[in-house]
Amino acid sequence: MIPPSEETMHRLKDAVGEKGFSQDPAEIAPHLEEWRSKYKGSTPLLLKPATAAEVSSILRICNETGTPIVTQGGNTGLVGGQIPLHGEVLLSTKRLNRIRAVDESGATMTVEAGVTLAQVQQAADEKHFLFPLRLASEGSCTIGGNIATNAGGTHVLRYGMTRALVLGLEVVLANGTVLEMLRALHKDNSGYDIKQNFIGSEGTLGVVTAATLRLFPRPDVAVVAFAAVPSPAAAVALLGAMQARTGGLLSAFELIPRIALDFVTRHIAGTRDPLAAPSPWYVLMEATGGREANLSATFESALADAVENGLASDAVVAASEAQAAALWKLRESISESQKREGASIKHDISVPVAAIPDFIARATPAVQALVPGARAVSFGHLGDGNLHFNFNSAHTGDDPAFLAQWDEVQQCVHDIVKEFGGSISAEHGIGAMKVAQLPRYKSHAELDAMRAIKTAFDPRGILNPGKLIPPVLRL
C-alpha cells in the first residue's frame, strides 16, 4: 500500500485542526493492537474528527487522492476489522461524543458515534428508560462500533441485535456526502431502508457519525437465576419451559460449562461457585417486567419443576441486586479468565437453537482429534443460538504450537457449522479474520451482491480495504 503523500497528509491535518490529529507513537500505539493481540497494525496518521463535517472533509480528501482509511471506535472488536493492517490512515470516532437529544415521548435517543455504550445506558436510565444492548466491553465500546458490527450481546433473546435498536443514522459516504437519516420513525416505507446497509458493514460502506436509538420502559423487576443442568439438551428444554412460564419475558439465557466456571473462580477475584455440588453445565437466566409480574415466584416454581423433571439438579434465584450482579459476573468474566488461563482458539458461531446439543457433541471431538488435549470452553447465548465455541491449550507453555493450529481448527469448526445450517459469525463480524474463508460458506451470488453494494457506496475502495468483502477468486 502506497503511503499518503505529504500534501495529502497536510490536507487531512488541516481538515481537523491541531486537536484533531496525532502522529505521536505513544498516543497511536493503543489504537494499533486489538484486545487479544492477534492483530497489530500501523498508520502514518491518527485523525480525531469532532464533527460530521470534519469526517466529510477527511473522506472527500481520501477519495480524491485514493488514500485508504480505517475507522475505529473503542477498539474492542475481535476479528481485526478496526485495525489498520496495511498502513492505512486511521480515523478515531472518540471525539464524536455528544448525546444530542433524548425524546421521552417517542422513547428515542440521538447520540454521536463515539459515545460509549455505558454512557448511552446511563443516559437512558436517568430518564427512566432502558437501552437493552449489553456487552462485556460496554465501558469502552462505542455506539458507532456497535452499529458497524451489528453487536449482539446477552439480551438479544428479547430485544434483538443492534439492527433492531437503530431507527435512524447519520452516515458520511466515501466521497464525503453526508446522508442525513436521523429519522425517529418506527414505520417508514418510503423506499429502500438505506440505513440497514451500514449496520453490520464494518466500516466498508461509510462512516457512521450519529444514530437515533430505540429506548424501552425501564423494568421494575429483574429476576436472575443460576441453574445446574446435566446437558446442553436439558438446557434447551429448560429454555422452552422458562419462556412458557414467564410469558416470553426472558431477556437472557446463557449456557456455561463447568470448565468456564472453574476458570472464573480460579482467576477472577471475588467470584465463587454459587451451588453446593459441581455440574457439567449451567444456565444463567434473567427475566424482567413490571412489579405486578411476580417473576420471583414464577422462577422458583418453574425451577422446582425443572429439578423434579430432571432438567436441572439445583438452582438459585438471586435474592438481591448484589447477588444478581455476582451471578452475572461469573458469565461476564469468562473471556478474561480464558485469557489468564492461556492461549485460546475462539469461534463466534450460530446454529438453530434446537441443533446446539448435536453441534457441540459433533464439533468438540472433531477439534480434539486435531488438537489432542484441547480444552473445550463452549459458552454463550443459548437463547438465540449463538455459541462462543472456544478451546484452550492443554498445558501452560503450549501457546505457540497451539495457536499455530488456529486456521485448521477454525475451518474444521466452520465446516460443521455449515452442515448444521449455521453462520460462521454470529455477532463479532468478519473483519480480517474470516474474510478469506467467506467464499467457502457464502454463495457466489451472495458475495457478488455484497461486492455490488460495496462498489456503489465506495467505488474507489478506500474504506477499510481487505475487510469483510473477499476478492473475486474463481477457477
pLDDT band with cut points at 50, 70 and 90 for residue 1: confident
Confidence (pLDDT) at 475: 44
Indicate the range of 36-40, 220-224, 420-424 predicted with least confidence.
36-40
Cell digits for 116?
Answer: 460509549
* Whether residue 212 sits in one domain with residue 145: yes
Q: Which of 217, 239, 258 is at the close of a domain?
A: 217
* Whether residue 195 sits in one domain with residue 211: yes
In angstroms, the CA 77 to CA 186 distance is 29
Q: Mean pLDDT across the chain, nearest whole number? A: 96
Q: Would you say how long the chain is, in residues? A: 475
* Whether residue 194 sits in one domain with residue 111: yes
Amino acid identity at 335: S
Judge whether 475 lies within some domain: no
Amino acid identity at 433: M
Domain of residue 376, residue span: 342-419
* Whether residue 353 sits in one domain with residue 415: yes
Domain count, the chain: 4
In angstroms, the CA 290 to CA 220 distance is 5
Confidence (pLDDT) at 291: 82
Backbone phi, then psi, for 120, in 5-degree steps? -65, -45
Q: What is the CATH number of the domain that holds 182?
A: 3.30.465.10
Does residue 288 contact residue 219 with C-beta atoms inside 8 Å? Answer: yes
CA distances from residue 387 to 37, 111, 143, 305, 357 in whole angstroms, order as listed: 22, 30, 23, 27, 11
In angstroms, the CA 275 to CA 18 distance is 57
Minimal CA–CA distance to 419: which of 352, 347, 348? Answer: 352
Judge whether 381 lies within some domain: yes
Judge whether 193 lies within some domain: yes
Q: What is the pTM of this model?
A: 0.95
pLDDT band with cut points at 50, 70 and 90 for residue 74: very high
Backbone phi, then psi, for 422, in 5-degree steps? -105, -165
Minimal CA–CA distance to 284: which of 251, 253, 317, 245? Answer: 253
pLDDT tens readout for residues 282-331? 999 999 998 877 899 999 999 999 999 999 999 999 999 999 999 999 99
Minimal CA–CA distance to 431: which of 80, 33, 163? Answer: 80
Judge whether 464 lies within some domain: no
pLDDT tens readout for residues 328-379? 999 999 999 999 999 999 999 999 999 999 999 999 999 999 999 999 999 9
Confidence (pLDDT) at 473: 61
* Span 440-446, average pLDDT: 96
pLDDT tens readout for residues 198-207? 999 999 999 9
Contacts 24+ apart (CB under 8 A), 257-262: 257/281, 257/282, 257/376, 257/377, 257/378, 257/379, 258/282, 259/375, 259/376, 259/377, 260/334, 260/337, 260/338, 260/377, 260/379, 261/330
31: DSSP letter: G
Judge whether 281 lies within some domain: yes
pLDDT tens readout for residues 89-115? 999 999 999 999 999 999 999 999 999
pLDDT band with cut points at 50, 70 and 90 for residue 395: confident
Confidence (pLDDT) at 178: 98
458: DSSP letter: -
474, pLDDT greater than 60: no
pLDDT tens readout for residues 115-132? 999 999 999 999 999 999
* Whether residue 213 sits in one domain with residue 226: no
Confidence (pLDDT) at 455: 97
Phi/psi region, residue 359 (left: phi>0; alpha: psi -120 to 50; beta: rest), is alpha
In angstroms, the CA 464 to CA 81 distance is 8
Cell digits for 396?
Answer: 501452560
Q: In the chain, helix, strand, coil percent, each to 5?
A: 40, 20, 40
State the SS3 of 110-176.
Answer: EEECCCEHHHHHHHHHHCCEECCCCCCCCCCCEHHHHHHHCCCCCCHHHHCCHHHHEEEEEEEECCC
Cell digits for 373?
Answer: 488435549
Q: What is the CATH number of the domain that holds 307?
A: 3.30.70.2190
* Whether residue 124 sits in one domain with residue 75: no
In angstroms, the CA 385 to CA 422 distance is 9
Amino acid identity at 98: R
pLDDT band with cut points at 50, 70 and 90 for residue 16: very high
Class of residue 173 by CB neighbours under 10 A (exposed 0-12, middle 13-18, buried 19+): buried
Judge whether 287 lies within some domain: yes
* Whether residue 128 sits in one domain with residue 27: no
